[in-house]
Amino acid sequence: MKSKEAELRTRMSVQDCGATFQQASAQAHGLGAKLGGFGAKVNGKDGSGFFTPVDDSPFAGLNDDAPAFTVGVIIPKFRGGANGNADAIHMYVWDRGDVREVKLMSPHGFGGGAHAGRLIAKFSDVFRTADPACEVSVTA
């Protein structure tokens, strides 16, 4: 599976990064996502909402630089939303003293890269609005 990613550097606290992620999630739930999510709920295929990403790699225990905070959210798509078609976006935050390093990642399958890229752009824009000094670099 591929992913679209962005790396951010911000002076916001870890808690502020979490609140900004929640705000970005609300903004990413546009009319299409709301309609797709409604269809998924009606059909019993709703998997939307927040979750904690899990590193289930056999080598996860070797990670000596674990993030201070991780969160993900499932955002339904309009097209196929009634069947549970959705995208996820994850946020990983490392507290580096004066600065927080944030990684946004949206995994996608074949043909889903454009939507994942738009999600990364939307979330990055919300971070830039919350912290105009936020540095953003798109890595994939």
Task: Give the start-to-end residue ranges of the domains of the chain.
Answer: 2-54+67-138
What's residue 96's pLDDT? Answer: 96
- CB-based contact 59:13 (threshold 8 Å): no
What's residue 114's pLDDT? Answer: 78
Q: Which of 129, 121, 63, 56 is nearest to 89 (CA)?
A: 121
- Tell me the per-residue pLDDT of 52-107, one tens digit each, with 9 for 90 and over: 988 878 888 888 899 999 999 988 765 554 444 568 899 999 999 999 999 999 98
pLDDT at residue 41 greater than cutoff 90: no
At 44, is the pLDDT very low, low, confident or very high (cuts 50, 70, 90)?
low
The correct CATH number of 2-54+67-138 out of 2.60.40, 2.30.30, 3.40.50, 3.30.310 is: 3.30.310
